[in-house]
Structure 1
Amino acid sequence: MDPRSEVVLRQQDYLTGSVLFVNAPCDELQAHLPSQVDAQFWTWNYNESLYFQKQQAPIHFGIELPEADFEQAVIFVPKSKELLNYVLHNVLSRLKIGSSVFLVGEKKGGVERAAKQLLPYGSAIKLDSARHCQMWQLTSSIRTELKPLASWVQEYTVPTPNGDLSICALPGVFSQSKLDVGTAVLLPYLSKVTSGKIADFGCGAGVISAYLAKLNPKNRIFALDVDAFALASTQLTFEKNNLLPEQLEIKAVSGIEDAPLFLHAIVSNPPFHQGIHTDYNASENLCKTSRRHLKSGGELWIVANRFLNYPVLIEQNFGQCITKTDQQGFKVLFASTQKNLKEQR
């Protein structure tokens, strides 16, 4: 069992009634909760939602709170400070004054820093410190008035050869406040991507999706991500740039295996984090299995840190991998299902 869940169970006597567990780890916590707890779960990670579905737990996937009422909340600290602010604000908009909100996290995950974010909402005490984790209890002294989603959006501008793009990023989304270096290295090559049905795997705030749609109004973009906040951000980015809504299809995925078939291209600045931990599984699977989702002559475009072994994985599955550029610590990699591909730089 996750050590954070173990700490929650050590303090289970504080839990009672309908309790919302936010961003909970995928473990056996629910099965060990006391009988006085009526648990429900909220996650924005699609893989985690699938896990809780298999456990037949009451799970809500999305960026908004579940509709069902709750009397207490246990929040497992997310990686992003801004995302924790969003969660706290939303949870406290639904709880009565005097209600308890519990915060749980690993010390190396910044739980002590996160506990300071409780202070605007009431008095907070540390209940436990064990298993390299901490659990805090907030007794709320205010009930927040729910702010509209737009007030949580960070906007920034990305200049492109086809005009500026306005990017809308919600809390916790990769590259929330500015364009990341990897995507910046990839952008000049997006005009070379074949047109048609294109998947943006790990769409984030929608930079790649929006630019591909802007390049060709006939492109149909499949924005794929495990994170509900990323999917919502991409939708907002499309709307902000007045792109055709029929160009965009948003889909929560557990990995590239959930992508549509017969794509003309897959483009990705692939993800490699799962919470606070590094996890290359999704991006390595992209290199290994994306070919089966492409049409004959379909293309794979990836930008990745130059130290990663993606070229080898792509060559093993496509027969070749062309490095289009290598700069600022990133490589733009290209492969095609076309046989006897001649290298074009």
Structure 2
Amino acid sequence: MDPRSEVLLRQPDCLAGRTLLAGLPADELLVHSPEAWGWSWHAGHHAYLDRRFAGRVYFGTTPPAGDYDNAVLFLPKSKELADYLLMALASRLAHGTLYLVGEKRGGIERAAKQLQAFGTPVKLDSARHCQLWRVSQPKSESRPLETLSQTFTLFPDKVALDVVSLPGVFSHGRLDKGTALLLEHLDHLPTGPLLDFGCGAGIVGATLKQRYSENPVYLLDVDAFAVQSSQMTLAANQLEGTLIVGDGIAAAPRDLAAIISNPPFHQGVHTHYQASETLLQEAVHHLKPGGELRLVANSFLKYPPLIEQYLGPCETLAERDGFKVYRARRRS
């Protein structure tokens, strides 16, 4: 059981009545609250919870319709995302109670101050290196998610690309250094379907479609906010692409000409490499013979040995600002 869930179980009033659990982890918390519903935006967590509690977990970027007695937010990493989620949850509470639970190292004490916009925060519990906070009858204020997006323009001197990102999406509102380096090394990709793995706001996928207009482009991410951001970026530039929400490379199509990625290696406050390592191990099964993997990664990550073990010889195309761009082709 996740330690945050354990703290909630110490305070049964949090789970009494019709309760909406937002961002709940993939554990057994719903067993202990028959009237609770889950809301998830992580495809992997949702898949587990939906198998375990079919019909009780909603997936998406907006909370499920209806009024609730209680709403609990499991604190996300992003402050901007927490602001939106608290606002969205408060709008579903006519006369109920809003709770915020999170780990101390995840910033729960700082985040508790965000509750002041909705009422007077009260600390209910501190255990398992976590804290639980409450606001009774929160002030309800709601804004459409799209109004919280940020837009910035790339390549203003060439074919401009407008990038739209939502709260919580990687590098929200700006171009990160790794992706900037990768964008400079997208020449001479093979003809055929291209995949932007871990698409985030769709910067790489949209750029690929601009430059390789005849190639089908897929954009894949585990996060619903990222996939919606990618959709908005494509629409802002009148580009077409196939959006996929899924947990890892297993959700990608086969027979790809190339996989291009700035793969994630952080999840929440914990360092997490599994999605990236699985990509390196399984890319061979999603590339056609001669297909190419091209990615950017922090220089300290030891990816080349894994790439060569599972795919083929690894070439370093560029290095700058602590990042490297790698290229490898599937053996025929």
Task: Compute the TM-score of the two structures, normalised by the length of structure 2.
Answer: 0.96
Question: Shift in Å at residue 141 of structure 1?
Answer: 4.3
In the alignment, is residue 124 of structure 1 matched against residue 131 of structure 2?
no
Question: Shift in Å at residue 66 of structure 1?
Answer: 1.4
Deviation sequence 1:214-244 (CA, Å, 0-9, x none): 112212111000000000000000111122x
In the alignment, is residue 18 of structure 1 matched against residue 15 of structure 2?
no
Question: Shift in Å at residue 93 of structure 1?
Answer: 1.6
In the alignment, is residue 214 of structure 1 matched against residue 210 of structure 2?
yes
In the alignment, is residue 194 of structure 1 matched against residue 187 of structure 2?
no
Amino acid at match of 1:262: D
1:163 match:
159
Amino acid at match of 2:103: E
2:58 match:
60
User: How many residues are matched?
Assistant: 331
Say whether the 8 Å CA contact 2:220–2:252 is kept in structure 1.
yes
The partner residue of 2:42 within 45, 49, 58 is 45
Deviation sequence 1:86-129 (CA, Å, 0-9, x none): 11111112211x42011100111001111111111112100011
Say whether the 8 Å CA contact 2:283–2:311 is kept in structure 1.
no
C-alpha separation in 2, matches of 1:14 and 1:180: 39
Give the CA RMSD over aligned residues.
1.5
1:329 match:
322
C-alpha separation in 2, matches of 1:303 and 1:101: 41
User: Which range moved further: 81-90 or 187-196?
Assistant: 187-196
Deviation sequence 1:5-47 (CA, Å, 0-9, x none): 11101111343211000111222212233xxx50100010000
How high is the sequence identity, in percent, across the aligned residues?
Answer: 47
Question: Shift in Å at residue 68 of structure 1?
Answer: 4.3
C-alpha separation in 2, matches of 1:103 and 1:296: 50
C-alpha separation in 2, matches of 1:174 and 1:8: 29
User: Which range moved further: 171-180 or 56-65?
Assistant: 56-65
The 3-state SS of whatever aligns with 1:284 is: helix
Say whether the 8 Å CA contact 1:287–1:317 is kept in structure 2.
yes
1:320 match:
313
Amino acid at match of 1:172: G
C-alpha separation in 2, matches of 1:313 and 1:141: 50
Q: What are the within-5 Å matches in structure 2 for residues 130-141 of structure 1?
A: 130-141=127-138
C-alpha separation in 2, matches of 1:255 and 1:152: 27
Say whether the 8 Å CA contact 1:162–1:215 is kept in structure 2.
no
Question: Shift in Å at residue 192 of structure 1?
Answer: 2.5
Say whether the 8 Å CA contact 2:152–2:174 is kept in structure 1.
yes
Q: Which 5+ residue runs of structure 1 have no aligned equivalent? A: 340-345
1:228 match:
224
Amino acid at match of 2:5: S
Amino acid at match of 1:27: D
Amino acid at match of 2:47: L
C-alpha separation in 2, matches of 1:220 and 1:157: 23
The partner residue of 1:143 within 116, 140, 148 is 140
C-alpha separation in 2, matches of 1:17 and 1:277: 32
Amino acid at match of 1:224: L
Question: Shift in Å at residue 162 of structure 1?
Answer: 4.1
The 3-state SS of whatever aligns with 1:189 is: coil
Q: Which 5+ residue runs of structure 2 have no aligned equivalent? A: none
1:297 match:
290
1:269 match:
262
1:79 match:
77
Structure 1 residues 200 and 94 mapped into 2: Cα distance closer, same or farther (>3 Å)? same
C-alpha separation in 2, matches of 1:141 and 1:61: 24
Deviation sequence 1:157-191 (CA, Å, 0-9, x none): 22277422111000100010210111011111113
